Structure 1
Amino acid sequence: MNILFVTDPLASFKIYKDTTFSMMREAQARGHRVFSCEPRQMAWVSGARVQAEVTALRLTGDKVDWYTVESAERRNLCEFDAIIMRKDPPFDSEYFYATHLLEQAEREGAQVFNKPRALRDHPEKLAILEFPEFIGPTLVTRSAKDIREFHAEHKDIILKPLDGMGGAGIFRVKADGLNLGSITETLNKEGAETVMVQKFLPAIEQGDKRVLVIGGQPVPFSLARIPQGGEVRGNLAAGGIGVAQPLTERDRYIAESLGPVLNARGLLLVGLDVIGDSLTEINVTSPTCFQEIFDQAGFNVAAMFIDALEQSLKPTL
């Protein structure tokens, strides 16, 4: 197969932990050809098809010069057997426009994973609202009054912007309410932007677990991202330490309940964030943690992903 990965610049990859790199490596090991492009390299003109300046890669196995360029050319996206959308957040206007170009490529015959429409329909923080039976007390609002009332009821809360990533912009306000007003103003821009507020879950001390779901099935190990140094955030980007561990019974139940539903919508790969027994986010844009789980638990997540990809493409092979 010819597989096109839509990514951030290759120069930004940290291959010792990069999930997209592990996907590429597994695909190449199976004899598939690996290509890449950035969203900015895609274009469409009336009377033609969605095209991109694509690079054919050969992974070298070297830790520094990890790829060589075999060719670079402009090609129709529908010519590829599969397109893997792996552009990292933020889900800004340019990301949104990229999903529309990829959806046009689908109309022209391309197969894209995760499906562009599904990416737009599942904003990573708001997607949990569809599954209230699995989440803790949660508020989504622009209203400072609503936030004050939620704090008065739950005493210890977490506030976060809807477009944040890597733990950026997350605040905890304890029972004393210290700085609640100023934090609210910072996040909701005095009522102009929507904020998510959740009851603080003490189980964060045991980690914010990333539960991966591939082809509707849970990966048997999660990566618990454990806060360090008094931090409330377990995100690896915020200094958390990742510890691979077997899924708990509750983790598996959540994953098996949501997995088939999300897979049927075109979400081949999903990263569920679980704190204790509560679902806190549904990550669909560019879920990670493949290599950390493989390095610590020995489970080849990338192989499970390429298996699922091949199975999804079987009717057209």
Structure 2
Amino acid sequence: MRIAFFVNSIETETPGYTTTALALAAVQRSHSVVYVEPGDFILRPDDDLAVSVAVLPDAPYKTSGKLHAALQDAAKQKKTVAISDIDVLFLRNDPSLDGTGRPWAANAGIMFGRLAAERGTIVVNDPDGLAQAQSKLYLQSFPEAVRPASLISRSIAEIRAFIDKRPKGCIVKPLQGSGGKNVFHIAKPTDSNLNQIFEAASGDGYLIAQVYLPEAKAGDVRLFLMNGLPLVRDGKYAAFRRVPAKGDVRSNIHAAGTARKVKVTATMLGIAEMVRPKLIGDGMFLVGLDIVGDKLLEINVFTPGGLTRLADMYATDFAASVVAALEEKRTLRQAYGKAMTNSRLATL
């Protein structure tokens, strides 16, 4: 099986990324791995879809570091192949990273992912589902019971009024964005730096204000779901607690948060069950839920990260389970052909 990982940039990939862990697991299970960047697709006059790929050389990679080094060399000599030579296209880019500097690249995975799916390549997560989830607005389409009270607006007056009714304070952040950038905790509407916060956060467009959950002081829990269900291997859940740095409201690892083991509770599993029907309907193969208390703060569907940390934390290779699930999808594709839609196959 040949698996193509679509990323923002091969150059900025690291040995610690979840995508690298997935690639390593695929190679160790005797699959061919290639990487694709936003500018690599080619739609020819005869409607054939081709793609320029960095081919990871066949080798017994034992560490992600060696695989990453080989990938950087492979990126210097890309090869063009037909999309029919790709069994699985795994979309693992973060559109928000390209939204400003390379707006043409932000939606390339979704656009060409659709074309690839039409031609029989298995595309995960399903590109039509990802198109619905290009901002934090996606969370609002899930049951109210699992989400914190929120307001989405660019009106400072509306946001002030919302904050005024929340004695425990609010979190304000851009509707588009990732990695904890421009996330602020506003304790009360009279905060002296409120205007500066609005100015900083609203530069990215719409803002989302969420009621502050006191449980967030202990961080949030990242719980992976695969095929709509909690990812479990060897009796262990793919989940960890992200604890914010001292004095910081953000628990993102990119924002100096730390990862710790966590016991998955019935409440967390209840949230996962509540969101499962829509995630399956949207073809969301692999996602990360960010949970605080009994609420869901975000659903990460583009590049949920943390599998490398989980492997170290629990001595469990969750990435191998993900690749095994892709193998099963390829078997189903071979059996059913195009009679089974990509969105349905993505979560079987």
Shared fold per TM-score greater than 0.5: yes
Task: Indicate conservation of the 8 Å contact 1:87/1:286, yes or no.
Answer: yes
The count of residues paired between Structure 1 and Structure 2 equals: 314
Amino acid at match of 2:178: M
Amino acid at match of 1:274: I
* C-alpha distance in structure 1 between counterparts of 2:317 and 2:17, whole Å: 14
Alpha-carbon displacement from aligned partner over 1:115-174 (angstroms, at most 9, x marks no partner): 111111123411111121101111111211110111110031110001121100111111
Query: Which residue in the other structure is 1:315 paired with?
Result: 332
Name the SS of the counterpart of 1:245 in structure 2.
Answer: coil
Confirm or deny that 1:297 pairs with 2:314. Answer: yes
Cα distance change, pair 210–307 in 1 and its aligned pair in 2 (3 A): same
In structure 2, list runs of 5 or more residues that go unmatched: 232-236, 335-348
Name the SS of the counterpart of 2:56 in structure 1.
Answer: strand
Query: Which residue in the other structure is 1:96 paired with?
Result: 107
Q: 1:213 offset after TM fit, Å?
A: 0.4
Query: Which residue in the other structure is 1:250 paired with?
Result: 267
Task: Indicate conservation of the 8 Å contact 1:205/1:227, yes or no.
Answer: yes
Query: Which residue in the other structure is 2:153 paired with?
Result: 141
Aligned positions of 1:202-281 closer than 5 A: 202-219=214-231, 220-281=237-298
* C-alpha distance in structure 1 between counterparts of 2:317 and 2:274, whole Å: 23
Which moves more between the two structures, 60-69 or 128-137?
A: 60-69
Aligned positions of 1:47-196 closer than 5 A: 47-58=46-57, 60-61=61-62, 64-66=65-67, 67-68=69-70, 69=74, 72-90=78-96, 92=99, 93=103, 94-131=105-142, 132-155=144-167, 156-175=169-188, 176-189=190-203, 193-196=205-208
Name the SS of the counterpart of 2:249 in structure 1.
Answer: coil
CA RMSD of aligned residues (A): 2.1
Task: Indicate conservation of the 8 Å contact 2:172/2:210, yes or no.
Answer: yes
Cα distance change, pair 62–217 in 1 and its aligned pair in 2 (3 A): closer
Cα distance change, pair 25–288 in 1 and its aligned pair in 2 (3 A): same
Task: Indicate conservation of the 8 Å contact 1:221/1:247, yes or no.
Answer: no
Q: 1:13 offset after TM fit, Å?
A: 2.5
Identity %: 27
Which moves more between the two structures, 143-152 or 46-55?
A: 46-55
In structure 1, list runs of 5 or more residues that go unmatched: none
Which moves more between the two structures, 281-290 or 302-311?
A: 302-311
Task: Give the structure-1-normalised TM-score.
Answer: 0.92
Query: Which residue in the other structure is 2:340 paired with?
Result: none
* C-alpha distance in structure 2 between counterparts of 1:78 and 1:14, whole Å: 28
Task: Indicate conservation of the 8 Å contact 2:38/2:108, yes or no.
Answer: no
Amino acid at match of 1:171: F
Name the SS of the counterpart of 1:11 in structure 2.
Answer: coil
Task: Give the structure-2-normalised TM-score.
Answer: 0.84
Which moves more between the two structures, 17-26 or 302-311?
A: 302-311
Pick the aligned partner of 1:284 from 301, 304, 318: 301
